[in-house]
Chains A and B, each alone.
Chain A
């Protein structure tokens, strides 16, 4: 069964600090892996997308990495801001599955002043 597991489930950090969120997956092969940010009461918004052959992708203070050998991805947030408080979801698109997605359980990040 295709699975996507994220850790930690929740995280509290101080404003200005860095943090790294983890995503382990068993989906293989896959078309792409995305990280989404979901603010409370809002829909997910795509932060990064990586194909199987990519190792890293940046979007401002967000940097995603992908290790296809170990089936792990991480999302690194630099110089955190209060507005980074949200849930971060790792989503994998199985190869040849059309539009279907496999979602991780998410990491709830809280940035405190």
Chain B
């Protein structure tokens, strides 16, 4: 149990375009979902916390207008990287929490902006 999926697993896009990444909890309802970014050889850095039905809370230094988060249901959260630039290239990981404190991580999405 407690499986989290992400789609796509890998995406390449042109600079200036927008990219949407989906995070789904497959076998549980997640009241809270988290989005992380991970650069090579570094640990995960929390970008934002999203609660179903309310606005996401962004960490300091993360632009909310650039990284749009929608947590429309208890099993789905989306991260949209708007007007992507090469410096946005990174590994994006989501996690989902069913309310008991434990976070279950997705497999990650590799974004490459050309």
> A: which residues have CB within 8 A of B?
31-32, 36, 41-45, 89, 93, 98-101, 103-106, 108
Interface residues of B in 1-31 (CB under 8 A from A): 4, 6
A43 lies within 8 A of B97 (CB) = no
Cα(A18)–Cα(B46), bound, Å: 32
Tell me if B75 is interfacial: C-beta within 8 Å of chain A. no
> B: which residues have CB within 8 A of A?
4, 6, 32, 34, 41-44, 46, 49, 91, 93, 95, 97, 101, 103, 105-108, 110
- Which secondary structure characterizes the binding site on chain B? strand
Q: Can you list 11 contacts pairing A with B, beta carbon distance less than 8 Å?
A: A36-B105, A41-B91, A42-B108, A43-B108, A44-B105, A89-B43, A89-B44, A98-B32, A100-B49, A105-B43, A106-B43
B42 lies within 8 A of A105 (CB) = yes
Known A41-B110, A42-B108, A99-B34; judge A31-B101 contact (CB<8 A): yes
The residue of chain B having its C-beta at the shortest distance from the C-beta of A106 within the complex is: B43
A45 lies within 8 A of B105 (CB) = yes
B43 lies within 8 A of A99 (CB) = no
Cα(A99)–Cα(B107), bound, Å: 19
The residue of chain A having its C-beta at the shortest distance from the C-beta of B96 within the complex is: A99
- Tell me the smallest distance from the CB of B63 to a CB of chain A, in Å: 21
Given contacts A99-B32, A99-B101, 14 further A-B contacts (CB under 8 A): A31-B101, A41-B110, A43-B4, A43-B6, A43-B106, A43-B108, A45-B105, A89-B44, A99-B34, A100-B49, A101-B46, A101-B103, A103-B43, A104-B43
Cα(A100)–Cα(B59), bound, Å: 12
Residues in chain B near residue A103, CB distance under 8 A: 43-44
Residues in chain B near residue A42, CB distance under 8 A: 107-108
